[in-house]
Structures are given as structure tokens and as C-alpha cells.
Amino acid sequence: MGATQFICPSKERIGISECLSACPNAMRCMGKPTLEAVANSVKDRGLGSKYSVTELISGTREVYLKKTTDYAIDPQDQIFAMHGTAVHSICEKHSSSFTLTEVRLSNDTYTGQIDAYGDLLGNGKKILLDYKVTSSFKAAMALGYYKVDEPTGEVYKTGAKKGQPKTRKVFKTGGVKHILEWAIQINAYRMLLEEHNFKVDDMHIQMYVRDYSLRIAAERNVEKPIYLIKVNKISDIWIKRYFAIKKRRLEEAMASGVLPDFCSKRESWSGRKCQDYCNVYEACRQDYTEQLSNQDSLTNAA
């Protein structure tokens, strides 16, 4: 079970192993090494009873379907995710012997891979650093940027708004930083380090903004390729309860074979993730369609 097919540019589907063995088209859509890297990136790691932090943060329904159904992926959609892997590899190669990089730790509830830990900012503190490759939109949200209407001092002289003051959109800083999932993740990693006797003084997200040089990024007030965001500590009790609940839900679903409830509003990005970014959307939608069909049958029978 898992990702078993690639979606070709023609929208036709082909088994991943079949594609890697011999492309049915006159020429591949991308280099074979890239396709092999994509195939490797979507493998289920098979960690047994230990689920990863990222799996448990995701919607339980999504993770369950990824582990119990075969699904297809478009290699083009995986490239940005691979950028993150490349960033990790580059940083790991240039880390000193006094820095922990790409180390996987685990406890009774979850397992997680530490991107970097040590005196990373030159301030003598033990820093836990997590790398994120993201878009300028998400970067602006994470930085707490927001737009407000600011009066220009002029008024409309004609039209339906005649006499009303003119405004312009202005970026402000200091808004809510939308980094909850990242904060939960890095706090889980902090707890792993502390449980293995590594002191953590501070936590930071290092964002790599992939489209920082585009005009749309400038319009969002994002002008640099890298930003550091300090993450505050979340209660250990809260983190333990959160992951214990998510683990229990996933384990119960895997044991019973009963499809979990739909992802929450946060987990599905208010529905935006479902159709455009979720690899198991078709399996989820099929089950939903079957539920509606069964409900209609019961209603008609009554």
C-alpha cells in the first residue's frame, strides 16, 4: 500500500516501478534520477508502531488512507518537497562536529528527525533549528504580516464613491504568526532532545522562501530568501496529550480497519488541501460518495 503510481503529463497513470524500468513515451518527463528521488521520497518508512511527528500532526484520515490504500502522485507536485530534502543535505554537509544534524530520535509515542542542534547562532546557546522550504504566502503568514486600509488624505471626486476617503493597502508587522503546526512539531523535537539529555535553550524555524525574488513576494512584504523565526515553548503536558490522542486515534483505525473521521479544519487548511494538495483525495472522496449513496438508499427504503 502507498504511492504505487505516477501520473504522467498526459494524465495517464503508470506503475512507479514500471516507469522507472522503461518509460512508455518517446522521452521521459524528467530525468530518471529525479524520478527515482521522487519515488524514494514518498515511500512509507515502515517504522512499525512508531509513528513520526509529521504523520501524527497530519489528519488521521489522511495518514490512514496513505497506509491502507494505493494511490498515484504527480512527480511535478513533489519537486518543492524535494527542495527541502536538498536543503537538509547541503546544511548537513557543512555542519561542524559539534552539531547534531539529521539525527532520528524516538520515545514511546513518536519518532522524529532533528534537522540541526548546537551552538548554531553564535550566541553560546543550544539551539534547535528546523528548516522549512515554503512559499512567500506562507512566509508572510508565518512572519505575522497583514494588510490594512490606510487613508491617503484624498477623497473620490466622481463615481459611486464620490466624497468618500481614498485608502491604500499597507503592510503591517506584529500580527498573529500562523506557525501552530511548525511550533507543535519543533516542540515535539525539543522534547525528544531533552529526553535524551540534550539541553535546548531556544528553538528557531529557518524559512527558505522559494519565490522570494518574484513580484508577488514583494507585494507580500517578503524580500529575503531566508528568515529566522523564534518559536516559543509549548507546555510539555499539552504536547504529550496532543500526540497521545493522535497516536491512539491512528492505532484504533489501523487495528479496526474503520476509516477515521474527516480531517479537521486546521488539518485540511479549511478544505484547500483536499483537492489540490492531498495525495489520497480520490480515496477519501470515493468513501464520502459511498456514504452519501448509502444514506440515500436508506432514506428511499424508509
Does 10 reside within a domain? no
CB 112, CB 189: distance < 8 Å: yes
pTM of this prediction exceeds 0.85: no
Does 171 reside within a domain? yes
First to last CA, the chain: 38
Tally: H helices and E strands in the chain: 11, 11
pLDDT for the residue 244: 96
Stretch 262-285: mean pLDDT? 88
Does 132 reside within a domain? yes
Does 123 reside within a domain? yes
**pLDDT exceeds 80 at position 44:** no
pLDDT for the residue 292: 47
Return d(Cα 138, Cα 131) in angstroms, integer.
14
Does 30 reside within a domain? no
pLDDT for the residue 129: 95
CATH number at residue 280: 3.90.320
* Closest by CA position to 2, among listed 73, 61, 76: 73
**pLDDT exceeds 60 at position 298:** no
Number of structural domains found in the chain: 1
Of 72-76, 112-116, 190-194, 234-238, the one with minimum mean pLDDT is 72-76
Does 38 reside within a domain? no
Average pLDDT, the chain: 87
pLDDT for the residue 276: 82
Strands 70-73 and 2-7, by their bridges, are: parallel
> 46: phi > 0 → left, psi -120 to 50 → alpha, else beta; which?
left
Return d(Cα 234, Cα 184) in angstroms, integer.
7
Give CB contacts under 8 A, 24+ apart, made by 253-260: 253/60, 253/64, 254/64, 254/67, 254/68, 257/68, 259/61, 259/64, 259/65, 259/287, 260/60, 260/61, 260/64
Of 50-54, 186-190, 197-201, 294-298, the one with minimum mean pLDDT is 294-298
Higher pLDDT, 214 or 292: 214
Question: What's the pLDDT band for 209 if we cut at 50, 70, 90?
Answer: very high
Higher pLDDT, 53 or 43: 53
Question: Cell numbers of 184, please?
Answer: 507543535
Which tens digit of pLDDT belongs to each residue from 2-16?
888 899 988 899 999
Stretch 184-212: mean pLDDT? 96
**pLDDT exceeds 90 at position 106:** yes
Question: Residue 122: which domain range?
Answer: 44-301
pLDDT for the residue 81: 72
Structural element, H or E, at residue 15: strand 13-15
Residue type at 37?
A
pLDDT for the residue 107: 93
Does 9 reside within a domain? no
